[in-house]
Each structure stands twice: as C-alpha cells, then as structure tokens.
Structure 1
Amino acid sequence: MSGTPGATTVRNKERTALEVTGLGRRYGRRWVLRDATFRLPAGRVCALVGPNGAGKTTMLEIIAGLREATTGEARVFGAPSGGTRARQRVSFLPQEKPLFPRFTVSETLRLGRELNPGWDQELAEDFVRAGSIDLDAKVGRLSGGQRTRVALAVALGKRPDLVLLDEPLADLDPLVRRQTVAALLGQVAEHGITVLLSSHLVAELDMLCDYLLLVAEGGLRLAGDVDEIVSVHRLLGAPTDRVPAGPDGLPAHLEHHTVVETHRDQHHTTALVRPGGPVDEVWESTTPTLEEVVLAYLAQTDSTPLISPDSHVPGAGSETIK
C-alpha cells in the first residue's frame, strides 16, 4: 500500500501518535518484549508483524493501558498509556472480538454509545450498513466477516485518534478480508486516524499498511515507511561458483554491504543486503518485495535493526535509513 491514507486529514496536529521508549514485559524469568523503542507518526496505517510469541499482543495491551510494562513506557499523543487522556483517544480490538452473541447489532452499538462519551452513532451505523448487515440481527448469527465489521464499528464509533487491532483479519476468507481492509482504510482516509494492527498475513502487507514495525526475539528489528524500508534493500543473485564463500561463511563480493540473509545451493546463491556502496557486477541486483524483506528479517533475528528517521527515538542504538 503506497502513500499515507490519513496524512492530509489528521484531526489532531500532533506529528507523533505513539512513542514507545525502552518498553519491556517479563513473565517470571522470560522476557516476551524487551527494550522496544520507536515513534509512530500520526495518520499512518502500521502493521505490527513478528513470529508467535514475539510480544505483539503484549505491546498492544500495554499501549491500550490493559497491561503494565515491566520496563519503559508508551505515550499516546504525549499522554502516558493507561491514563485517562490516553484511554479517551484509543480504541483496542482484541483478536477474540468480544461481542455479546445474544445482543442484536443495534443493542451492541447502543452499549458502545453508553460506554463512550464521544460516541458517533451515525458513523457506527453507517459502517455496519455498508456491510449489508441488518441492525436487528443477532450477533451470534452473523458470519465471521460480519462480526468483524460490527466489532470494528464499535472500535471506530468511539471516534479514537489511535486504533489498535490484534489480528483483526485472521479468521476471514480472502475476499471478505479485502472488503474489510477497504472499509477500514476508507475510515482512515476520511477521519485521519492512526491504526496499529498486528498481522501474520505477510503476503498481504502491501494491501494492509504503509508503515511497518517488525518484532522478533523480544526486540524491534524494523520500523519505518514501507517504501523506504524496501528501497534501501537489494536482492542479489549469482551463480554459486562465481561467489565462493569466504572465511566468514558469506558469499564473496559482499564485504561493503550489510547482509541480512543468504541462500546457497550447488548452482545459485542469493543474498538480501543493505548496500554500503556499489554492488559488484558479478551479482544481478533487483528490488525485493516487502514480503521478501520481512521474511528475511524474521528468519535472521540477529541482523542489525533498521529504524527510519521518523521512527527513531534519540539515544536508541539502531541503524537508521539514510
């Protein structure tokens, strides 16, 4: 997904929707999230990706004020997460999409109105009706896609500035997933909200987001604009006999580059790199897809983290996109 859906219509004037500094969460002796530090610019649709157990849900719950951090802090438009000011500006939709199955859709929206002072009934009803859902239908009789739309209507009806979604599309078939994404992005464009959603749908990230956070091994590995992240990487390929392995085990002619991942067989060698200068002519160089970049960083969690300038928090020790 190219561009910035909400950049021209952000309701608030703050440039940073979310700032996370040294955020960590430990359960017993095990850290599920450690020293996460980044900024999320306002008006972006950001995918939070990582393997199972990487701390994605934990991070969202801390930002939403539902769980305390062991270390560090998260600030929502400058206010500490969990405080009244932050809670008023955030909607969180967990993966389970908690709805009362015996309620009608109309009763569900009425409950949302009673619980949220800034509730926008017209927005919520319009979002539901756009999915051809009867307001008198019982929630328990809706399809998975319809329940997701109703849950999103509740999240959006609060008129938040930041929406947190935990795997919102995981249980939807491809067509319904695409329709739901289109509806969500329409709200982003119209109301200028910021969205942070966790997702394991790596192949569909281009459709989902214009910004990316990748967590693995408890830490942040990638953060930044999708187009910027892709543009600073090259996918290299060469016959294996022309790029013999050096003493460090890496293929030849990569000395000046940051190597993210390599694949080598008897005939062909490939490498995903962040170039540090001209690429040797022995290599064929192409632009990788976002999926190729993400999968490489997920496979090689010891690679140097890459943080874009607008995601970078001063004092954080990560390489930044130039």
Structure 2
Amino acid sequence: MHTSDAPPVAVAAEGVSHRYGATTALRECSFSVPAGAVVALLGRNGAGKSTLMRAIVGLLRPESGRVDVFGQPISAEVLPRVGYVAQQAPLYPMLTVAQTLRLGARLNPRWDDAYARRLVDAGALRPTAKVGSLAVGQRARLALAMALGKRPDLLVLDEPLASLDPVARTELLGALMAAVAERGTTVLISTHVVADVQDVCDHVVVLGDGRVRLTAAVEPALAEHRIAVGATSDLGALDGLEVVERRRDGREFTALVRTAAPGPDGVSWHRPTLEELLLGYLRAETPQPTREVSAA
C-alpha cells in the first residue's frame, strides 16, 4: 500500500511480456526502481536484459504489461529526463567528438554543455578526432558523456562495460558514480558480470529465462539469505527450507538458502557475499542435474 513515507519510484514494470516470433524474451516481469538508487540488472546472455531496457526507454512496446517512468508511461514529455546508452555505445562514426557534442546540444533541451565537455576532457578525447577512430573505451566514455550531458534523472546503461579493459572499466565507473553522487541520478545498469557492479549498486534485479528471479535492496537481501555448507550425508538439514540453489562437490554440498537465521546444527551457515547471492540466483535459473549428482 502506498503511503506518504514511501520513497518515490523512478521505474515501475508490471507484468511485462514480449516475444520475438516463437522466442519469448520476457515473461510477466514486475519490479520497481526507487528514485536515486543504483540498480544492477543481472542475467546471463539471452536472459532478456536488453529487451527490458528497450521497453523502459521507449524503444520497444511490450506485447503485454506496462512500464511507467516517474509515474507515467514513457512519452515525449518523459524522454528528456532519461539518458540511455545501448550496447556497443552507438554513435555516428563520421562525426568528430566536437560535432557529436554539438549534436547533443541541439537534440536535448536540458543539455549541459560545460558538464559534457568536462567528461570528455577527463578522458583525453581530442575534439577533432573522428568517432570512428576512437578506441573502444574512448567511445564508451563519449557515449556516457552524451547520456549524462542530458542531465537525466534516470540513466539506463545496457552492458556499458562489456568490451572495456580493466582500467577503462574502472575509469568509466568512476565517472558514472561521480555523476550519481553529484545529482542523485537513478541508474539502471545491466551486466552479466557480478564483479562489475557489486561495489556500486544498492539494489539488484536478477533475470533468468525472461523472468524476474530476484528484486531487492542489497542489504535486506543479504540479511534474508544464508550459505549452507556441509557433508552430503547432512542434506536433510535443508528439508523444509527454501533452497535457491544447491551444488554437490564430492562428499560436500553448498546451498544458497532463503532464511534470515542459521539452520540446524551439523551444517556450517554464513551470511552470503553479494557475489555469492547473485551467482546463486543466476545459476539457479536453468536446471543443472549434474550439480545434484554425487561424485563420491
């Protein structure tokens, strides 16, 4: 129930489903993104992340369900508040860096030219360089500068770090988080690599097979799960518990369990790291019988 104390919502998806021919990309996806949050959208390749992001920014109309941005369907009124960087950071290769920034100024009513140029200068991008001649990391920085130059209230990033080397990834994340700290921008960033986002996100949405497997604030989610480790002869300790994912390795098992308190004695219980939590949900999305067969 909505109350006056409830935080404002930047994105609300309800029952979103979509197909490409006979392939179902999204299945009844529902979740919300609090305003000001940094949300990691995680899933394996083909999980439906890009389709969901295209629906959020208005590039795709889902077959069923709805997506609201700042309380209303995506429209020409809302779009100026939304920044979007698609996979591969698409830009016009024949334009120079300076021409690209001028294009951003013409197309966006909220454009902050000085801010966009600071982001470009910090990446040592020559204004006269053609976009097509830039290295992958430089193009990604320019694409992020174009999105942030809009001064968006919501920034949607689809696999922005996938093709970058470790140094470029760190630099790009640093520029992104500086913008978030400065303006309180809501960020939704998709990836299939947990390490990319585990130090910056405060909310997570996990997609698997087109479905939302987990949607939660990070700290409550960690508090509501435990990792159980024990001998396979003690698997009965998991009876009656909500087991998210279970693996066997010889005579031992490891399980991610949805519970706020340690279970029965005889099994080791500990609070999961964010990586353990997210990998558990990612691995659980597809049945893997070999993980349930003892090698002993």
| Match 2:266 to one of 282, 289, 301 | 282
Residue 266 of structure 1 corresponds to: 250
Superposition deviation, residue 280 in structure 1: 0.9
State the AA in 1 paired with 2:33: L
1:266-310 CA-to-partner distances (Å, cap 9, x unmatched) read 32122110126551111111122222222221222279xxxxxxx
Q: How does 1:215-226 map to 2 (within 5 A)?
A: 215-226=207-218
CA contact (8 A) 2:225 2:260 kept: no
- The range that moved more, 102-111 or 261-270, is 261-270
Report SS of the residue matched to 1:197: strand
**Secondary structure class of the residue paired with 2:68:** strand
Shift in Å, 1:45: 1.1
In structure 2, C-alpha distance between the alignment counterparts of 1:287 and 1:204, rounded to whole Å: 21
Q: Is the 8 A contact 2:47 2:210 kept in 1?
A: yes
Match in the other structure for 2:291: none
In structure 1, what is the Cα distance between the partners aligned to 2:129 and 2:193? 30
Unaligned runs of 5+ in 2: 1-5, 288-296
| CA spacing shift, 1:143–1:277, aligned 2, 3 Å | closer
How far apart, CA to CA, are the structure 2 residues paired with 1:201 and 1:277?
28
What is the CA–CA distance in structure 2 between the aligned matches of 1:22 and 1:95, rounded to whole Å? Answer: 25
Q: Are residues 1:32 and 2:25 paired?
A: yes
Shift of 1:149: 0.7
**Cα deviation per residue 1:84-142 (whole Å; 9 max; x = unaligned)?**
12212111111021112222111100000011111110110011112222222222222
Unaligned runs of 5+ in 1: 1-12, 244-250, 304-322
Question: Which position in structure 2 is the counterpart of 1:294?
Answer: 278
Cα distance, 1:28 vs. partner?
Answer: 2.4
Please tell me the residue identity of whatever aligns with 1:273: V
Count of aligned pairs between the two proteins: 282
Name 2:141's counterpart in structure 1. 149
Asked if residue 55 in structure 1 is aligned to residue 39 in structure 2, the reply is no
Give how far 1:55 is off: 1.1
Secondary structure, counterpart of 1:207 in structure 2: coil
Task: Kindly report which structure 2 residues correspond to 1:129-278, keeping only aligned pairs within 5 A, or say none.
Answer: 129-241=121-233, 243=234, 251-275=235-259, 278=262
Aligned to 1:7: none
1:140 aligned counterpart, secondary structure: helix
Q: Contact between 1:205 and 1:290, CA under 8 Å: does it hold in 2?
A: no
Q: Give TM-score, length-normalised by structure 1.
A: 0.83
Q: Confirm or deny: 8 A CA contact 1:256 1:276 kept in the other structure.
A: no
Q: 1:180 to 1:276 in 2, by over 3 A?
A: closer
Counterpart of 2:290 in structure 1 is none
Judge conservation of contact 2:262–2:269 (CA < 8 Å) in 1.
no
Using a 3 Å threshold, how does the CA distance of structure 1 residues 108 and 187 change in structure 2: closer, same or farther? same
| Structure 1 match to 2:293 | none
- Of residues 231-240 and 106-115 in structure 1, the stretch that sits farther from structure 2 once superposed is 231-240
CA RMSD of aligned residues (A): 1.8
Of stretches 284-293 and 65-74 in structure 1, the one that deviates more from structure 2 is 284-293
